[in-house]
Amino acid sequence: MAPPGDHRRYWRANLRYLAILLTIWFAVSFGCGILFVEPLNQYRIGGAELGFWFAQQGSIYAFVVLIFVYVYLMNRLDAEFGVGE
């Protein structure tokens, strides 16, 4: 069992990852897909307007990538602090 100070630092690092990843999560869906859909629609990806594409395709791809990045970061963090199983 690691000392309590380590646990606190582990938890802080975890929270920092969460803050970064959830900011991206918000940006790709609520940001690109909803709030800024109009300005983004001036650009195109293939035959689709960019804002529309984010709302119906891009945000979903980003979600999948986000979870796998989170898994990678946390596995690394677990190993660093010796709290993995």
Partner 1 sequence: MASVNSRFTPENLETLMDVQTWTYLIVGATFLLYIGIAVWARAGSTTEFYVAGGGVHPIANGMATAADWMSAASFISMAGIISFAGYDGAVYLMGWTGGYVLLALLLAPYLRKFGKFTVPDFIGDRYYSNVARTVAVLCAIIVSFTYVAGQMRGVGLVFSRFLEVEINTGVYIGTVVVFFYAIMGGMKGITYTQVAQYCVLIFAYMVPAIFISLQMTDNIIPQLGFIADVNDGSGTALLDKLDQLHAELGFAEYTDGSKSMIDVFAITLALMAGTAGLPHVIVRFFTVPRVKDARISAGWALLFIAVLYTTAPAIAAFARTNLITTISDRPYTELPGWFSKWEETALVAWVDKNEDGRLQYAPGEAFMGGVDQQRADGARVPGPYGQALLNNAPTDNANEVYIDRDIMVLANPEIAGLPAWIIALVAAGGLAAALSTAAGLLLVISTAVSRDLMRKQIRPDMSEAEELWWARGGAAAAVIVAAYFGVNPPGFVAATVALAFGLAAASFFPAIVLGIFDKRMNRSGAISGMVVGIVLMFGYMAVYRLGWFVDAVPDAEHWWFGISPEGFGSVAMVVNLVVALVVSRLTAPPPEEVQDMVEVIRIPRGAGGASMH
Tokens at 40, concatenated: 């983004």
Q: Of residues 34, 43, 76, 80, which one binds partner 1 by CB under 8 A?
A: 34
Tokens at 69, concatenated: 């990045």
Torsion angle (degrees, nearest 10) of CA 83, 80, 72, 22: 80
> Does 20 help bind partner 1 (rule: CB under 8 A)?
no
Give me the residues that bind partner 1 (CB under 8 A), please. Answer: 1, 7, 10-11, 14, 18, 21-22, 25, 29-30, 33-35, 37, 41, 45-49, 52-53, 55-57, 59-61, 63-64, 66-68, 70-71, 74-75, 78, 83-85
